[in-house]
Each structure stands twice: as structure tokens, then as C-alpha cells.
Amino acid sequence: MKKVLMLLLVIVISCFGLYFGKYAWQDTKVQQETGQQNTEDQEYIKQLEKYCEDHWNCGYEKGDKAKFEKNVKLLEKECSGNNALACHILGIYYDEGIIGVLERDEEKALEFFIKACDGENGKACQELGLTYWHTQEGDNKLIQYYEKKCDSGNGEACQELGSYHSGYKSVKYYEKACNLYYESSCSILGDTYKYGNRYVKQNFNKAVKYYEKGCGGGDGSACYKVGSMYDKGEGIEKDIDKANKYYNKALQFHEKGCGGGDGSACFGLSDMYRDGKGVEQDKAQADKYYEKGCEIKRYFYC
């Protein structure tokens, strides 16, 4: 009897093992397939971003409405899962709109850009500043958004507030951004004190101080500007050695930035080759870097 019971127990355990083994394998297979699908979705979204950079009708190819609507669903799903790139593309979709396919909706676009910016998508942060300042829909939301980020120590947000406001309030935000090591704000403060305005008295020593701080943080433009002041003896004692030191730093930072896709750095290189400061004057090189900057920045005056 004991042998029969033992045999039955072995059979039952074996059956359970086979049953659970089967479903464990199926679960593993599902997880693998899901992971593969997620990877494919991520790659597809990257391709969509590239397409958006090259085409005005971002994501709407050859009138394929069904494909576009499928893209929107995928992006909404990914954005809800905190995929900043997907949120950014949705912001572009709603910002531009497509006649007969997707109605333009500035409020939705703004929400998606903000979510993408929160996810550290630099392009979305730029879109916010360039597109929605001084618009009825954008100002109140952006001020609240940037003030919150600035108060939490985000230098870029402080600079955006500086660019929005004027007078003493503007200077206050730029100073906060500069102290948070957002170097381009240091350069802006350098300009402010170098030339002065109705709110700020001209002060060359302060201009040099802020340019040098920006340069120390890697801002090629600040290096070039302080180098130029030493070169010309502009408001300070002329010092060619210091000028060349800062020109060399400017060249180093601009080359690195331009090579990394920073259009402003390319324009900086163009200026250096055009003026022959820190490099041998070369009009062909100046034109080359200007064109490269235009390819990246796509300014209307290029």
C-alpha cells in the first residue's frame, strides 16, 4: 500500500512540475517577446524623431493617415510611460497640426513639451522657450513651470525666466543661473555689464568677472569675449598674453561644441576665422562653419 501511495505522489508531483514548467516557459517567452517589442518601439521612435528633423509634416508620410494614427497611439503609450522622446514628438505633432488628420492644439503641445522637458529632453526645453513665451496660452504656465524648476536648482529654467523678464528681475534670474553654473547666463551678464543699460550701470570689471566665470565653465563665447577685451584693452588694461590664452580656450570649446552638434559653437568658430582671432584668418573656414551652424540651428536668416 505504501508503495502505491508513494507512486501516486511521484506521479502527482511530476504532473504539477510539467504543468508549471510549461507555463513558466510560456511566461518567459512572453517576457522575451515583450522586451523585443519594446526595443523595436524605441528604435522606431528614434527614427520618427529623425524624420521630424528633416520634414515639416513630421510623421505623416505620403498621406498615410492610418500609419500616422498608429504612430500617435504608440507615442501616447510611450509618453505615458515617461518616454521623453515620445512626448517631444507628440508636442511637435500638436504644435504643427496636419489638415484633415490632426487638429492643431497649442495647449496639448505645451503639455507634451513640458513633460518631455521634465524628462531631460533638451530639444523639448528649447521648443518651450522659442515657441511659447509671449503667447496667451504659454506665459502663465511657463512662468509657473520655470519658477518651480529654477527654485529647485535648475540653471536653464532660471535663464529662461531671465530672458522673459526685463530690468532688475531679469538680471536677478541670470545671476541665479550663472551661480548654478549655467555658463551661458554668465556670458549674458558679461554683455549686460560691458554695455550697460537703463537698469544696470556699465562696469567693465564685472563684465570681465562674469565672462571669466562663464569661460571657466566651458562657454566658448565667454572665452572669446573676455579675450577680445584683453586684446583691445577695452575698459581694462591691454594684455595680449591673456587675450591669446582666452582665444585658445574659445577655440577648444567651440571645436568641441560644434563637433558635438552645437550650432552656436559653429557660429563662434565662424567668427574666429572671419576675424582672425586665435586662428589664422580664413574666409573659407568661416563660411564652412557658418553653414554648419545653419544646418544645425536652421535660423531664418541663414
| Domains of the chain (ranges, CATH numbers) | 45-132 (no CATH), 136-180 (no CATH), 181-302 (1.25.40.10)
- How far apart are the C-alpha atoms of 130 and 228, rounded to whole Å? 29
Beta bridge mates, 102:
98
State residue 57 phi and psi, 5-degree precision. -90, 60
Can you tell me the mean pLDDT for 18-44? 50
Q: What does the alpha-carbon distance between residue 75 and residue 93 come to, in Å, rounded to a whole number?
A: 11
- Among 8-22, 50-64, 143-157, 228-242, the least confident range: 8-22
- What pLDDT sits at residue 23? 44
Q: What band does 278 get if pLDDT is binned at 50, 70 and 90?
A: very high
Burial class (CB in 10 A: 0-12, 13-18, 19+), 254: buried
pLDDT tens digit string along 96-137? 887 778 888 888 888 888 888 888 776 777 677 666 666 666
pLDDT at 300 over 60: no
* Average pLDDT for the chain: 81
Burial code of 215-224, b = ≥16 C-beta within 10 A, e = fewer?
bebebbbbbb
More confident residue, 95 or 32: 95
